[in-house]
Amino acid sequence: MADQAKPISPLKNLLAGGFGGMCLVFVGHPLDTVKVRLQTQPPNLPGQPPMYSGTFDCFRKTLMREGIMGLYRGMAAPIIGVTPMFAVCFFGFGLGKKLQQKHPEDVLSYPQLFAAGMLSGVFTTGIMTPGERIKCLLQIQASSGETKYTGALDCVKKLYKEAGIQGIYKGTVLTLMRDVPASGMYFMTYEWLKNILTPEEKSVNELSVPRILVAGGIAGIFNWAVAIPPDVLKSRFQTAPPGKYPNGFRDVLRELIRNEGITSLYKGFNAVMIRAFPANAACFLGFEVAMKFLNWAMPNL
| Confidence at residue 3, expressed as pLDDT on a 0 to 100 scale | 45
Residue 267 lies in a domain: yes
Q: What sign does the CA torsion over 262, 265, 267, 270 have? A: negative
Which helix (H) or strand (E) segment holds residue 109: the answer is: none
Q: CATH number of the domain that 240 lies in?
A: 1.50.40.10
Q: Distance from CA of residue 111 to its chain's centroid?
A: 22
Q: Among 287, 276, 298, 104, which residue's Cα sits nearest to residue 207?
A: 287
Q: What is the pLDDT of residues 190-211, one digit of tens each?
A: 999 999 999 888 888 888 999 9
| Confidence at residue 1, expressed as pLDDT on a 0 to 100 scale | 44
Residue 3 lies in a domain: no
**pTM for the complete prediction?**
0.79
Q: What is the pLDDT of residues 45-100, one digit of tens each?
A: 777 888 888 888 988 988 888 888 888 887 877 787 678 888 999 999 999 999 99
For residues 173 and 25, what is the distance between their CA atoms, to the nearest angstrom? 23
Residue 274 lies in a domain: yes
| Confidence at residue 234, expressed as pLDDT on a 0 to 100 scale | 92
277: containing domain: 10-41+49-290
| Confidence at residue 229, expressed as pLDDT on a 0 to 100 scale | 93
Domains: count for the chain: 1
Q: Distance from CA of residue 14 to its chain's centroid?
A: 17
Residue 151 lies in a domain: yes
From the CB of residue 30, how many other CB atoms can be counted at a distance below 10 Å?
21
Is residue 75 within 8 Å of 24, Cβ to Cβ? no
- 3-state helix, strand, coil split of the chain in percent (to 5) is 75, 0, 25
Residue 71 lies in a domain: yes
**Residues of the chain where predicted confidence (pLDDT) is lower than 70:** 1-6, 81, 142-145
Residue 153 lies in a domain: yes
Residue 32 lies in a domain: yes
| Confidence at residue 19, expressed as pLDDT on a 0 to 100 scale | 94
